[in-house]
Structure 1
Amino acid sequence: MSFKSSLATIVGRTTYWLLHDVLKRGGTSLPGKLAAKIDPQALQHMANQYDVIIVTGTNGKTLTTALITRVLREKYDNVITNPSGSNMMQGVIATMLSAKVKDVAEKTLVILEVDEANVAAVTQQLKPKAFVLTNIFRDQLDRYGEIYTTYEKILAGIRLVPEAMVIMNADSPVFMRGDLPNPKLYFGFNHLPATGDERAPLNTDGVLSPTDHTILSYRFRTYANQGFYFSHSDDFKRPVLDYAVTKINQLTPRFSNFDIDGETFQIEIGGLYNIYNALAAYTVGRWLGVEVSQIKHAFEANAQIFGRQEVIRVHDKEVTIVLIKNPVGTNQVLDMMKTDSEPFSLIALLNANYADGIDTSWIWDADFESLKTMGVQTVATGGERYRDLYVRLKMAGYGDHPYYPDLNDIVTAIDQMPTTHVYIAATYTAMLQLREKLAQQGFIAGGY
């Protein structure tokens, strides 16, 4: 290791120690930012100590990464991850710097959530043994461009390691583009008879066949562009699945119960979309030799995921924090709320910082009108771009409603809601800011 890389490691680890152990703050990216400033190749000097699995895609990266980590810890003693969702280069470097490598014969497993645009840069230095691909939807057009551009950014990383396993959501036709020599494992849904012949709704992205660019049909769809697709113009269709959800047993806002290949599982988080994340974790676990019984145990561990359906008690209110960041993800969150049998209130928070995407036009493609069919009693808006969201919800039929530009007022907003259950749907940086305010007021533990 060169003097420059040694200095980068020392500075990064010292900064991490000061932030986490002395100041008791998050600091999920600053240690990595400083280390990279000293040595841009800081990751490369750590690579031979680890077996790295990269998790990437538009939605579900954080939960999928957390579930994979839980599953692998059932079998392996030394597994580290970036639990807060700090998934750009500096966050990845900070995660590696914070790792305590045990003196064991087997390499440490590192499960890294990685931003789509950072996959190639991270791969160049870490040479992963596997990639897990969740889905591709329109998201942060100012950063990624359209969906096929986003996928090309991911492919640029995968092509650097042709021997790495690619574990992909085969229900997403976008992932069938590009000729990759890598070994592959496919996961998806087989919970309905494959007898239908339907098209996805208008304005659904990613429904073009990669062979001739005709519009695909579906035997069944789960949501958005995902499902059992096929082409009427040639023999292109979804590949045979290696692992599949074979039955949906029960969906509630608190848990999801389902079968994978005939075995029943439950995760303590709602939403059909989150079953895909569990299926990805199951696939990784089985690939690395984790027993089915161990995976069940990992899934049923009642540990909340950072900012993803966290349930927090604020005085007499039960508050559920959910992340929203693009139309498809927001619609899935709204569908999850539909499974709530009790009346609830909604506070929606919108920021437009770099990590959120600075273009807020996506809120007009999210189906906020569907809230009218649910048990929502009242809505409120907030965040740095509260005016945009205020107008959007007003146009969705909610008229004039309370708004809170200052997140210091959110606890007051929660107290004023007419229901005991309150959902807070927030974009990424708004969620971070909200958690910090709640931590300062003693409702949750501080840090990340």
Structure 2
Amino acid sequence: MFRFYIALWISKIVMFIFKLKGSERNDWPGLLAYKLCPQFLKYINKPPLVIAITGTNGKTTTSALINNKLVADGYRVSFNDWGANLQAGFGLNLMRCVNFLNKPTKMDVAVLEADEKTLDDTMTLIEPDYILVTNICKDSLRRNGHPEFIFDHVERTFNVLGNKTVAILNANDPISSQLAADSGARRVFYGMADIGADPFENTVKDISVCPVCGDDIQYNYRLYRHIGDFYCNSCDFAAPHAKYFAEAIDHERKELIVKEDGERSAYPLISDTVFNAFNVLSYIALMRELGTDKQELADFLRTQRVTKIRETSVEFNGIEYLTYAAKSQNVSAASTVFEYMAKEPSVKELVLLLDEMQDRNHPSETITWLYETDYEFLNSPNIKKIIVGGHMYLNHRLRLLLAGIDESKIVCVEDESEIVDHVDRSGIEKVYVLFEIDYVTKARKMRDMIVERAKEEAAK
């Protein structure tokens, strides 16, 4: 414990210095604590309530909704809202909760967005009261290998924690819905009915055979990719009953109709996408388990939108210019966004900024994700042009051509500053800048440059 207190004291002093410099969101003090005491997360005392949110996709938006509601309710919340979802970020956030004597007096709740791959190395030490899992999907080959590999990491977490935690799980995900079945944890499921999503057929399936008997997985309906009402003809493997069940979406009122214990309630949506409807639903499930009133949750959701890290919008001269996150390397996330681009009915141009920042220093990085991602969705009549910039522009060009997209609709430039020269606003309703999550600031700057060029042309 002496080593722990040395780590705590030094790191809190460094954290105070960072705060004076206006760098409170730098997780370096947490990294320092972890280096000085590898068991730091075990020994630091926790606030009365700890909530972890994990999964391949959706954890940032869901975490933000949970945090924002708790803050609105007057709780003192420590939240890694800048995405520091590894040991260093957890160390910093938990340090905020304690004083120099390791007394948890400063915060009421810790909301931790948690990386799914390292969950068993971190949450088994932190022992959260709730772990919400959004889904498990195919992700970066470099970081996460394949869904079964990630499932094993998350499953080990629940097996170690046992009944110390409550598992909030997606009933429509044939992968993550299997979690914690034998762990002793209380399992609570949320799920969704056939809302008429009519998903496109995807190239790569995250799971295709029954994990129990090996027969093909069947669906009464699919909502997107492998998410839906699944079952197996040869055994009893099927989507579990959902305590919180979204029966329908009222598109006119932009509301999700959720059935809970036989009663139906309407909750506002934060966007028109199916995957964000799931984020809202998982937030509802977690907050209802905490005892929050249904009407309170609905009233709060009317004030919320998708986090600006993921989506922003500016309108000029009748055209909407948007930034929209589409994680590169993450096959499921990118494919889901591409499918949305095809289904979203506006006439649009797309700008793709999908090269990871670190790839510039690792030119031998695998490009297999390009061929597992459903670029075929972009072969849609409402997408008039696709402009690609960055050092991998020729790889993207080849993939777009292999997807059957007409060469005349593709513009590829290595120098990203030239992208603005190729945006054609004639007959266009929207321009989407789809960006890798490393490029949040760059994407906004690109969007603003495009808007500025439009203003210059309008002034002539």
Unaligned runs of 5+ in 1: 194-199, 444-448
Q: For 1:80, which of 78, 83, 97 is the aligned residue? A: 78
Q: C-alpha separation between the residues in 1 aligned to 2:160 and 2:30?
A: 23
- 412, 422, 433: which one aligns with 1:424: 433
SS of the residue corresponding to residue 43 of structure 2 reads helix
Against the structure 1 CA distance between its residues 388 and 240, is the aligned structure 2 distance closer, same or farther, given a 3 Å change threshold?
Answer: same
Deviation at 1:209, TM superposition (A): 2.2
Q: Secondary structure of the equivalent of 1:234? A: coil
Counterpart position of 1:334? 338
Q: How many residues align?
A: 430
CA–CA distance in structure 2, aligned partners of residues 202 and 47 of structure 1? 47
Question: Corresponding residue for 2:193?
Answer: 190
Counterpart contact for 1:82–1:92, Cα < 8 Å? yes
Higher mean alpha-carbon deviation, 61-70 vs 422-431, is at 422-431
Amino acid aligned to 2:211: P
Query: Is the alpha carbon distance of 1:297 and 1:413 closer, same or farther for their aligned partners in structure 2, counting shifts above 3 Å?
Result: farther
| 1:44 aligned partner, one-letter code | K
In the TM superposition, what is the alpha-carbon distance from 1:113 to its structure 2 partner?
1.1
Is contact 1:53–1:130 with CA below 8 Å preserved after alignment? yes
Which stretch of structure 1 is more off in the superposition, 348-357 or 256-265?
A: 348-357
User: Could you say if the C-alpha distance between residues 249 and 402 of structure 1 is closer, same or farther in structure 2, counting changes exceeding 3 Å?
Assistant: same
Structure-to-structure mapping, 1:42-441, within 5 angstroms: 42-75=40-73, 77-98=75-96, 108-163=108-163, 164-175=165-176, 176=178, 179-191=182-194, 203-250=204-251, 257-261=255-259, 262-312=264-314, 318-325=321-328, 326-352=330-356, 358-396=365-403, 397-399=405-407, 401-405=410-414, 412=420, 419=428, 421-431=430-440, 433-434=442-443
The alignment partner of 1:95 has SS state of helix
TM value normalised by structure 1: 0.83
TM-score by length of 2: 0.81
Per-residue Cα deviation, 1:329-380 (whole angstroms, up to 9, x for no partner) = 2232133334544322211112246799953321222222322324223211
Aligned CA distance change for structure 1 residues 59 and 247 (closer, same or farther; 3 Å): same
Please say which of residues 140-149 and 387-396 is displaced more in the overlay: 387-396
Change (3 A) 1:275 1:355: farther
Residue 431 of structure 1 aligns with an amino acid whose one-letter code is: V
| Contact 1:75 1:290 (C-alpha < 8 Å) held by counterparts | no
1:186 shift after superposition = 0.7
User: CA separation of 1:359/1:26 partners in 2, compared to 1, >3 Å: closer, same or farther?
Assistant: farther
How many angstroms apart in 2 are the aligned matches of 1:415 and 1:302? 31
* Alpha-carbon distance between aligned partners in 2 of 1:324 and 1:352, rounded to the nearest angstrom: 9
Q: Percent identity?
A: 21
Using the alignment, how far apart are the partners of 2:417 and 2:4 within structure 1? 42
Unpaired runs of at least 5, structure 2: 453-460
- Give the letter for the 2:129 counterpart: K
User: Could you tell me how far 1:120 is from its partner in structure 2?
Assistant: 1.1
Q: What is the rounded CA distance, in whole Å, between the counterparts of 2:422 and 2:108 in structure 1?
A: 43
Contact 2:350–2:434 (CA<8 Å) still a contact in 1? yes
Change (3 A) 1:317 1:172: closer
How far is 1:239 from its partner?
1.5
Alpha-carbon contact 2:194-2:222 (below 8 Å) kept: no
* Inter-partner Cα distance in structure 2 for 1:301 and 1:355: 38
Which residue matches 2:456? none
User: Displacement of 1:155 after TM fit?
Assistant: 1.1
Name the amino acid aligned to 1:399: E
Q: Tell me what 1:196 maps to.
A: none
Relative to structure 1, is the Cα distance of residues 100 and 45 closer, same or farther in structure 2, using a 3 angstrom cutoff?
closer
Per the TM alignment, residue 165 of structure 1 is displaced from its structure 2 partner at its CA by: 0.4
| 1:331 partner letter | S
**Aligned CA distance change for structure 1 residues 407 and 369 (closer, same or farther; 3 Å):** same
Q: What one-letter code is carried by the residue in structure 2 that aligns with 1:77? A: Y
Distance 1:282 1:413, change over 3 A: farther
Give the drift of 1:62: 0.5
Change in Cα spacing, 1:97 to 1:421, as seen in structure 2 (3 Å) is: farther
Instruction: Tell me what 2:7 maps to.
Output: 8
RMSD in angstroms over aligned alpha carbons? 3.6
Amino acid corresponding to residue 71 of structure 1 in structure 2:
K
Seen in structure 2, the aligned counterparts of structure 1 residues 241 and 406 have a Cα distance that, compared at 3 Å, is: same
Which has the larger displacement, 144-153 or 368-377? 368-377
Moved more, 62-71 or 200-209: 200-209
Which residue does the alignment assign to 1:39?
A: 37
Distance (Å, rounded) in 2 between the aligned partners of 1:355 and 1:210:
35
Q: Deviations over 1:120-142 (max 9, x none)?
A: 12113211111111111111122
Cα-to-partner distance string for 1:232-257 (whole Å, 9 max, x where unaligned): 11223221111111002229xxx953
CA distance in 2, matches of 1:263, 1:414: 47
Residues in 2 aligned to 1:439 and 1:373: alpha-carbon distance in whole angstroms: 26
Deviations 1:189-241 (A, max 9, x none): 12469xxxxxx867422233232121121111112212111221122322111
Q: Secondary structure at the match of 2:175?
A: helix
Write the letter of the residue equivalent to 2:327: I
Offset from partner CA, 1:400-430 (integer Å, 9 cap, x none): 74445455666x4587655463212122223
Deviation at 1:299, TM superposition (A): 1.6
Matching residue's letter, 1:161: L
- The offset of 1:172, in angstroms, is 0.9
1:49 partner SS: coil
Point out the structure with max Rg over C-alpha: 2
Partners of 1:288 and 1:59 in 2: how far apart? 23
- Are the equivalent residues in 2 in contact too, given 1:249–1:259 (CA < 8 A)? yes
Q: Distance in 2 between matches of 1:26 and 1:426?
A: 26
User: Residues of 2 paired with 1:162 and 1:268: CA distance?
Assistant: 34
Q: Determine helix, strand or coil for the equivalent of 2:286.
A: helix
Higher mean alpha-carbon deviation, 274-283 vs 332-341, is at: 332-341
